[in-house]
Structure 1
Amino acid sequence: MSVSLRLPWFPNVQFTGSFVAQAKGFFADEGLDVTINPGGFDVNSITLVAAGSDTFGLHDTNSLLFAAAEDIPLITVATYFHKHPGGVMALADSGIETLEDFVGRRIGFAEGGPWQLTQAMLAKNGIDVNDIEQVTVGFDLSAILNGDIDLQTVFFTNQPVLAEGEGYEVNVFVPYDYGIETSANALFTTKDYFESNPEVACAMVRAISRGWEYAFENPEEALDIVIAVDPENLDRDKERRSLEVTKTVVLTPDAVADGIGSMKHSRWETVDEVLREYGGLEAEVDLNSVYSDACYS
């Protein structure tokens, strides 16, 4: 069966499971011929899968809930990042070691998942976000490294790794660790395709899960595979450090117990709550229609 998988971003270790599944023949073992298409600044995997241009896609659970609110008929069959990598970073020499230390400091944020999750984390732990000076920043680290801000929202699989690569020690605060448990890196397809081809969807789930498992057992080989996809733009040392951190978001205790990529309804409920409070989600969404755990039952 020939299918395509659309990434939400440019190739990197975030998609190691898929690249390894392709290179090691795990897709082929499931009877699949998979074309992996890259994402980018102007490439939206949700739009392309919904339009039928791609069979499967990867994206964030937040965006998939917004798609459901707009009646885009998609269904998620796995979330490979059990632990959402959105968080907040501070330099270690800033003296910021607890959430309480945020008060009176300056936080730089970019709109999106990490900032929404950060606000939810602070509220859940009794910190008034209005007691923190807030400024908008981009995704680069110049503001925090130059001392213009004390904290910055990040994906902790990426920006903290870059900072440490430049010799900075950092402290990272992850909402998941403070009671805001959500997941990311969701594998999805259209509801029509899933209803007609459930065995293909589950074959994708198994192959990618197997790819992640193999990657963590053979990290240097996995790095060879990922870097070969885009050797001009991927730095091996940075990708190695990112893969080490990514292991902590893929292989959580729940993933070990229930299977890599498995889902919990409570995490979808948390995404829904966070988006209603901080992301502008208003339409009612039937969460049971947004995902299916059939591939894990």
Structure 2
Amino acid sequence: MRLASLVAASVLVLAGCGTADAPTTATPGASGALTPIKLQLQWFYQAQFAGYIAAVDQGFYSEQGLDVELLEGGVDIVPQTVLAQGKADYAVAWVPKALASREQGAGITDVGQIFARSGTYQVAWADSGITTAADLKGKKVGNWGFGNEFELFAGMTKAGIDPGKDVTLVQQQFDMQALLKKEIDAAQAMSYNEYAQLLEAKNPATGKLYTADDFSIIDWKTEGSSMLQDAVWANTEKLDDPAYQQQTVKFLTGTIKGWAFCRDNAEKCRDLVVAKGSKLGKSHQLWQMNEVNKLIWPSTGGIGVIDEAAWKQTVDISQTTRNQTGDTVLTKAPEGLAYTNDYITQAVAAAKAAGVDVTGSGFQPATVTLEEGGA
């Protein structure tokens, strides 16, 4: 079964869930009432979505005339499908997953590439000898599946490893316990989440927390197989409507202000995320906020503007990388309006005119001290 079929299976699950009512996209009336908007997130509340949470809290959306409701994601929620079914006005989703859904009929368009860089790692113990994709040959390799494994397969393929023959693939939970217990040799991790879980765990041999020196990291950006991740997706058909076009620019403008606020106020945004109900602790959320900022800033062309070379690499990998059964993410190049910079460039200009630093050229990441369990 093709990798994209995993997405399709989730789509069928979602279709029966009824997670949200149909959104209202009418323009504000003469009374000045805010236009209600629904944004579907792709996972549970955490600092990965801090910019959107801040844009609501700080009034950046309301000053654009929008009343934005954030729809929390989860294991059985496919954001791009919620959007395609008309149950949300916009959605946050990884590009390869969304492109797989597009190929199966979802009418969606990437209108803002918020994460300019990938945050996916494969992590091993420092004494394992695993430092590159080529070192995974013959190893037990963990991955989450559900479309999160594309960069891993691409990295192994590039290194001459057949994912179906040369490694033992292990279905990994969304934590790092399998690696900590040494049940697998390498584990999938996001720089802003699961990797921090390792550094929040206590080393039983020393009684202290593990450090970065205890682990080795395969960074897919270094291996040349990274793919674009968190993007804002819009309804393609509705983009023919001038009112929806204007709404999209306004939504992106508020979003830019939210992410710029979190760049400059990381601790405040950490607190906003914790208050939103995240089950992750304060030190973990601050780490996550700092790491997410690294994936966004600096943004030479302006936050959210899609880099054509990065887009092409993502599409090429999606068409050429084969999974353990020999299938690819995409069978052909995306057709129609898969992405556009038309609205994000207008939003960048509007935010810049309002005094927002839209490139973050001076951004410097902080040093975050993690506590046991991320407390």
**Normalising by structure 2, what TM-score?**
0.72
> 43, 48, 51: which is aligned to 1:17?
51
> 96, 109, 123: which is aligned to 1:62?
96
Equivalent residue of 2:182, what SS?
coil
Relative distance call for 1:89 and 1:114 in structure 2 (3 A) is farther
Q: Does the CA-based 8 Å contact 2:99-2:334 persist in structure 1?
A: no
The yes-or-no answer on 1:40 pairing with 2:74 is yes
The alpha carbon displacement at 1:201 in A equals 0.8
The yes-or-no answer on 1:179 pairing with 2:227 is no
The alpha carbon displacement at 1:226 in A equals 1.2
Relative distance call for 1:34 and 1:296 in structure 2 (3 A) is closer
* 1:1-297 pair list within 5 angstroms: 1-126=35-160, 129=163, 130-166=165-201, 167-168=209-210, 169=212, 170-196=215-241, 197-230=244-277, 233-252=279-298, 255=299, 257-276=300-319, 277-278=321-322, 280-286=328-334, 289-297=337-345
The alpha carbon displacement at 1:114 in A equals 4.1
- Residue type at the aligned position of 2:183: D
The alpha carbon displacement at 1:138 in A equals 2.5
Q: Root-mean-square deviation (CA), in Å?
A: 2.1
The alpha carbon displacement at 1:118 in A equals 1.4
Q: Does the CA-based 8 Å contact 2:138-2:167 persist in structure 1?
A: yes
Taking the aligned partners of 2:131 and 2:47, their CA distance within structure 1 comes to: 29
Q: Does the CA-based 8 Å contact 1:57-1:188 persist in structure 2?
A: yes
- Which sections of structure 2, spanning at least 5 residues, go unmatched? 1-34, 202-208, 346-375
Relative distance call for 1:41 and 1:103 in structure 2 (3 A) is closer
- Residue type at the aligned position of 1:134: L
The alpha carbon displacement at 1:126 in A equals 4.8
Cα deviation digits, residues 94-138 of structure 1 (max 9, x gap)? 343344433443322232444221121233345565544433332
Greater shift, 269-278 or 123-132, is seen at: 123-132
Equivalent residue of 2:230, what SS?
strand
**Normalising by structure 1, what TM-score?**
0.90
Taking the aligned partners of 1:284 and 1:125, their CA distance within structure 2 comes to: 23
- Which sections of structure 1, spanning at least 5 residues, go unmatched? none
Taking the aligned partners of 1:234 and 1:28, their CA distance within structure 2 comes to: 28
Q: Does the CA-based 8 Å contact 2:111-2:232 persist in structure 1?
A: yes
The alpha carbon displacement at 1:294 in A equals 0.4
Q: Does the CA-based 8 Å contact 1:114-1:154 persist in structure 2?
A: no
The alpha carbon displacement at 1:73 in A equals 1.2
Taking the aligned partners of 1:57 and 1:268, their CA distance within structure 2 comes to: 18
Relative distance call for 1:220 and 1:70 in structure 2 (3 A) is same
Relative distance call for 1:230 and 1:178 in structure 2 (3 A) is same
Higher normalized helix content (fraction of residues)? 1
Between the two structures, name the one with larger relative contact order (CA 8 Å, sep ≥ 6): 1
Taking the aligned partners of 1:95 and 1:158, their CA distance within structure 2 comes to: 24
Which of these two proteins has the greater Rg computed from alpha carbons? Answer: 2
Taking the aligned partners of 1:249 and 1:150, their CA distance within structure 2 comes to: 26
Relative distance call for 1:98 and 1:180 in structure 2 (3 A) is closer
- Residue type at the aligned position of 1:171: S
